[in-house]
Chain A
């Protein structure tokens, strides 16, 4: 009888504690965040070990798939190689022109560096939260709110960073907002996640000419994501809602790159310019 009562009291206490955590544990409380990253950091090596069989099976399937499509892919790559050689000549001319024009206009651009390439170690296992755990943290130079991308395009940003692990919020998460633009005309918008595979384009100007297939890039506004990173393309326009298909496949991520973006400090450049002018006068 006493044991039963004790059980009921402890259940009631833990239910109240869970409710308390649910209501107040999400308000960016430092102790809660610290607890989260400590537990994540502890479990990351365990998750890496337990993921080994899954990785092996996945690698075996990928190898078999490549073997089956090797002949067709070879033909396709030959044709693509010829096409790319032609475009490379044109592109190199464009790069030279671009550099020359930037020098003429005295354009100062930010510096983008890859801080770390990290392995994906855990998923959410839920349709309502779109994030992932990676095996790099402050020890590798990571900080909160850094852009994360792979060779195909933008994936998300870091939200909680521990010593050897970090959580990356995907651009598809309902809490994600990324400043973006159309590549064709530079019109600025916001890419808003809605927990579906295809995030939405918000704050679209009324008379903007949107078509399926339009390419979306990061705008660089907000100083978090470097400008001109590929996001994806418009896949669906329905009842004024514009959906975007991401260039990066979030379901097949193995490694991601964490980017550091240092914007050009115009005040420093301005001072340098004044100093130079003074020196010239002297």
Chain B
């Protein structure tokens, strides 16, 4: 009986991080009818992958990150594999540092995330410029990075709440 209950909870635990990322992809590609919001859309999936990779890396395996990235590339109409590549690199770095990040307070995590976001934005800008063979404007991607950093505490709070409710500490 106890084993059955554990399995059931583990099932929710296993699917929750992936599902939350899919929901964030759907939020990102919605048509908001607000001038320039598309240009400044925060990297919500980056926040999610970062947080789950720090606090519950086993629930966010590389294949899940790859699928999230591919889905985002398809729904956003971008080059296939680009977001998947960026998110996999972020997961690899974060999981490598996971234990160190886990013991730190929120402000340290926010600062670390800020550095990762700006590196992510720079890489994004560089790859897209190479892809088009033309330097792209850095202004909007900088705006996206700032918005992402600003959105981090909100997503952090929501995911913390979810982790506590479903007891995700894998």
Contact = CB atoms under 8 A, between A and B. Distances in A.
Q: Do A and B come from one complex?
A: yes
B17 interface: no
B31 A40 contact: no
Contacts of B137: 127, 195-196
B118 interface: no
A195 B134 CA distance: 11
Interface residues of B, number: 51
B56 interface: no
Given A22-B82, A125-B41, A251 B34 contact: yes
B30 A126 contact: no
Nearest to B143: A127
Interface string A221-237: 00000000000000000
A197 B141 CA distance: 15
B128 interface: yes
A39 B38 contact: no
Contacts of B33: 54, 58, 251-254
B76 to A, nearest CB: 5
A18 B81 contact: yes
Interface in A112-153: 120-129, 131-133
A51 B84 contact: no
Given A11-B91, A39-B74, A19 B85 contact: yes
Interface string B8-51: 00000000000000000011111111111111110000000000
Contact of A47 (B26, B70, B140): B26
B30 A47 contact: yes
Interface stretch (B58-66, B105-113, B154-162): B58-66
B85 A40 contact: no
A197 B29 CA distance: 18
Given A14-B88, A46-B26, A40 B74 contact: yes
Task: Tell which of A14, A26, A125, A196 has the most Cβ of chain B within 10 Å.
Answer: A125
Contact of B38 (A40, A47, A125): A125
Contact of A124 (B26, B34, B35, B77): B77
B75 A54 contact: no
B28 A7 contact: no
A25 B77 contact: no
Contacts of A51: 30-31
B80 interface: yes
A238 B148 CA distance: 34
Contacts of B141: 127-128
A269 to B, nearest CB: 40
B79 A22 contact: yes
A39 B26 CA distance: 13
Contacts of B29: 47, 122-125, 133
Contact of A126 (B26, B41, B65, B95): B41
Contact of B78 (A7, A43, A129, A252): A129
B136 interface: yes
Interface in A31-60: 32, 36, 39-40, 43, 46-47, 50-51, 54, 58
Nearest to A43: B75
B88 A54 contact: no
B92 interface: yes
Interface in B82-97: 82, 84-85, 88-89, 91-92, 95
Contacts of A11: 62, 88, 91-92
B79 to A, nearest CB: 6
A27 B90 CA distance: 27
A143 to B, nearest CB: 18
Contact of B132 (A39, A174, A196, A251): A174
Nearest to B76: A124
Interface of B: 26-41, 61-63, 65-66, 69-72, 74-82, 84-85, 88-89, 91-92, 95, 127-128, 131-132, 134, 136-137, 140-141, 144
Given A21-B84, A50-B26, 20 more contacts: A7-B62, A7-B95, A10-B62, A14-B62, A14-B63, A14-B84, A18-B81, A20-B81, A22-B79, A22-B131, A36-B74, A47-B26, A54-B31, A123-B32, A125-B29, A128-B128, A131-B77, A195-B136, A251-B35, A251-B37
